[in-house]
Amino acid sequence: MLNCNIKKTYENFELDIDLNVEGGITALFGPSGCGKSLTLRCISGLTEPEEGQVNLNNNIFFDKEKSINTPVKRRNIGFLFQDYALFPHLTVEKNIGFGLKNLSKSEKKEKVNQMLKIMRLDNLGKRYPSQLSGGQKQRVALARTLVVDPDLLLLDEPFSALDAPVRKKMQEELLTIHNKFPVTTLLVTHSLEEAFMLSDNIAVMDDGKILQMGPKEKVLNEPSCRTVARFTGNRNIFSGKIISKEDDHAKIKCNGLILKAPNLNYNLGESVNVSIRPTEVLFVRQDLGKRGLNKDNVFEGTLLDKRIEHSTSYTLFLKLFSFPQNEDDYDLEIHVSLHIYNKLKLASESNVYVTLPPESLSIFKD
């Protein structure tokens, strides 16, 4: 288990982290410059915090008050850097075995060969880093990190240098490898898709602080504040007030909208924010007549001419209640598959109905 409570201050930035991780993969997710990589450096010992404590499996690696600062090489923490940091003058097998100390020659060779096989590098042992592809270099770097049986694995945007097809393959391989080596892992990423695919838990960071941390589904579906909602794709955010409460639902007035939402632990008259992900906004088929409109949170609006075409989907923008004045005058961003876009003939539609399903709404205070 990792317990990390540290501070590190620079001229225009302060890292103030309270992080507790127990097993699995935890993603540190947030924009560039928010302190994700700095957090890993402080945990590993490459950067010394100014305050706090780093404790891994009841071993205190850093404690400012007790003047404890264990050297990097004695922390048994594996660190995979963005650029992999392979030794260019060493072969693949020598790179992998570099950190194996106090082993006999035969024991070292056995561990290296085992790792070569696991990483599917059997035929590349005699090659040098300059003779490897990006994906092969990453597997070598990961093998070198795991061969020493670390107590904690730190991954600093390990897929950023790979092109899309290789990145996808390596992400899948990482999950397979983690099943074989179930070491507690911290993964730094600025990709929400990557964080959700690879992690068990997500810690959303901004400006040197963790805004919310927990199981990935909870973080994405129950953001604690407006910033977390925005970072995790809840781009449709409305401010409102609770105007009624029932046993199973509440009604929230957001400007001209009256939204039915889950009845959470908020009081009548309390001000809240409501958000919904663009993928959760649904179009109502007008050919269904009253059956289509007889849903919760159905609203009529005007589709803007502004449309973003993706390979298999579209991003559309909807103005509610009034006619849009310009392409940035919209109330809802909607993400719809190409199939639905064509089936509903949205290319030629301007006036449409949409529904915001109550179960898809997130409610939060700040």
What pTM, to 2 d.p., does this model score?
0.89
Angle at 257 between CA 253 and CA 258, to 5 degrees: 55
Residues 259 and 356: beta-carbon distance below 8 Å = yes
Q: Which residues are 69's β-sheet partners?
A: 62
For residue range 51-83, list pLDDT tens digits in order. 999 999 999 999 999 999 999 989 999 998 888
Checking if the pLDDT of 291 tops 60, the result is no
Sign of the Cα pseudo-torsion (211, 216, 218, 221, in order)? positive
Residues 270 and 242: beta-carbon distance below 8 Å = yes
Supply the pLDDT for residue 292: 56
Question: Mean pLDDT throughout 237-260?
Answer: 91
Question: Mean pLDDT throughout 226-239?
Answer: 93
Integer Cα distance of 323 and 301 in angstroms: 8
User: Is 235-277's fold the same as 278-357's?
Assistant: yes
- Averaged pLDDT score across all residues of the chain: 91
Long-range residue pairs from 119-124, CB within 8 A, at least 24 positions apart, any chain: 119/143, 119/177, 121/92, 124/92
pLDDT category of residue 294 using cuts at 50, 70 and 90: low
Residues 87 and 130: beta-carbon distance below 8 Å = no
Per CATH, the number for 2-226 is 3.40.50.300
Supply the pLDDT for residue 134: 85
Sign of the Cα pseudo-torsion (167, 186, 37, 73, in order)? negative
Question: Mean pLDDT throughout 197-214?
Answer: 97
Integer Cα distance of 322 and 320 in angstroms: 6
Radius of gyration in angstroms for the set of CA atoms belonging to the chain, rounded to a whole number? 25
Q: Please report, for residues 13, 206, 210, 225, 364, the alpha-carbon distance to residue 35 in angstroms, rounded to integers and kept in the order given.
A: 9, 8, 10, 19, 25
Fold of the CATH domain 235-277: OB fold (Dihydrolipoamide Acetyltransferase, E2P) (2.40.50)
Fold of the CATH domain 278-357: OB fold (Dihydrolipoamide Acetyltransferase, E2P) (2.40.50)
Angle at 170 between CA 167 and CA 176, to 5 degrees: 150
The domain spans of the chain are 2-226, 235-277, 278-357
Supply the pLDDT for residue 164: 79
